[in-house]
């Protein structure tokens, strides 16, 4: 069964909107794990518009499951990974000013850069995942670079899911998973997965190791509560 890692960036956004420490991001990470989350994901951006540098280290103290830190591999991000040594580092291609991660790496043009960063992070004993679109040639290159996993960018699937043929929308991801497995890569996924589209995605791709979900899950938690929201998302992964 795929694991559910809860991205808690938006909790930090809510706290930062008012100042102070409400909601308490560290306590929220503790509670998510107590309520059944299989991991915690954060994306500490340089402008600290949500997760701050201090949050990275405070959350690390709470982890009893898995800790996934996403980010663009600049000097700041790499220093965080080196010091904390989370379970997983997910490398995303978005530069600092981008609102959200909305594209995978252009692996062919960034091959040498990725190779250097993957080798560095793996030397620290951290699992490396690379954010990619469902393109078989990119997945093959990621395997050549020595990464442990890919994270499939699921934005196009989520956008197309309510509009047309579900089997057509899922097909590129099925092919991508086949290629990843053939290359010995683990498979994560994330971006705009929600209670409407997650179950079909998971059931169509039984090879999934992990999904990372934040915005939709926390939006649902406004209505259902965070414990119930986590339970509902985990049901989709059964």
pLDDT the model gives residue 187: 98
Residue 164 has what pLDDT?
Answer: 81
Q: How far apart are CA 186 and CA 127, in angstroms?
A: 10
pTM of the full structure = 0.95
Q: Who's near 196: CB < 8 A, 6+ residues apart?
A: 161, 162
Distances (CA, A) of 179 to 54, 93, 114, 142: 39, 21, 20, 11
Q: Is 191 a catalytic residue?
A: yes
40 — phi, psi (to 5°)?
-120, 135
- Which CATH number is 213's domain given? 3.20.20.70
- Kindly name the residue from 50, 66, 117, 191 that is annotated as catalytic: 191
Residue corresponding to tokens 């093959």: 140
Q: Per DSSP, what are the bridge partners of residue 42? A: 69
Q: What is the pLDDT of residue 29?
A: 98
Q: Residue 199: which residues within 8 A CB-CB, separation 6 or more?
A: 235, 236, 237
43 noted as active-site residue: yes
User: What pLDDT shows up at residue 19?
Assistant: 93
What is the distance, to the nearest Å, from the Cα of residue 41 to the centroid of all Cα atoms in its chain?
6
How many structural domains are present in the chain? Answer: 1
The whole domain housing 185 covers 3-236
Rounded to a whole number, what is the distance in angstroms from the first to the last CA of the chain? 6
Catalytic residue among 70, 133, 151, 169: 70
Give the ranges where the chain is alpha helix by DSSP (H).
9-18, 25-34, 53-60, 75-84, 111-123, 136-145, 155-160, 166-182, 198-204, 215-224, 226-236
Please, what's the b/e burial string for 62-77 (b: 16 or more CB within 10 A of its CB; e: otherwise)? bbebbbbbbbbbeeeb
In order along its 238 residues, the chain shows pLDDT tens digits of 999 999 999 999 999 999 999 999 999 999 999 999 999 999 999 999 999 999 999 999 999 999 999 999 999 999 999 999 999 999 999 866 665 666 799 999 999 999 999 999 999 999 999 999 999 999 999 999 999 999 999 999 999 999 988 999 999 999 999 999 999 999 999 999 999 999 999 999 989 999 999 999 999 999 999 999 999 999 999 9
Residue 203 falls in the annotated catalytic set: no
């Amino acid at each position: 069964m795929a694991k559910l890692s809860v991205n808690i960036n938006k909790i930090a956004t809510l706290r930062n909107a008012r100042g102070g420490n409400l909601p308490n991001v560290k306590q929220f990470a503790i509670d998510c794990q107590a309520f059944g989350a299989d991991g915690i994901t954060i994306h500490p951006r340089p402008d600290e518009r949500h997760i701050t540098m201090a949050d990275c280290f405070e959350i690390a103290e709470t982890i009893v499951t898995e800790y996934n830190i996403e980010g663009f591999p600049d000097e700041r991000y790499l220093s965080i990974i080196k010091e904390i040594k989370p379970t997983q580092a997910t490398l995303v291609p978005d530069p600092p000013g981008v609102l959200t991660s909305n594209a995978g790496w252009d692996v062919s043009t960034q091959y040498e850069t990725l190779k250097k960063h993957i080798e560095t992070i793996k030397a620290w004993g951290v699992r490396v995942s690379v954010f990619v679109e469902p393109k078989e040639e990119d997945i093959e290159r990621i395997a050549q670079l020595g990464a442990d996993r890919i994270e499939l960018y699921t934005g196009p699937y989520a956008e197309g899911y309510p509009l047309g043929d579900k089997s057509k929308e899922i097909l590129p991801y099925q092919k991508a998973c086949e290629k990843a497995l053939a290359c010995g890569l683990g498979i994560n996924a994330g971006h705009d997965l929600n209670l409407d589209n997650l179950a079909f995605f998971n059931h169509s791709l039984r090879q999934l190791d992990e999904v990372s979900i934040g915005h939709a899950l926390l939006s649902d938690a406004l209505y259902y509560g965070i414990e119930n929201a986590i339970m509902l998302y985990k049901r989709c992964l059964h």
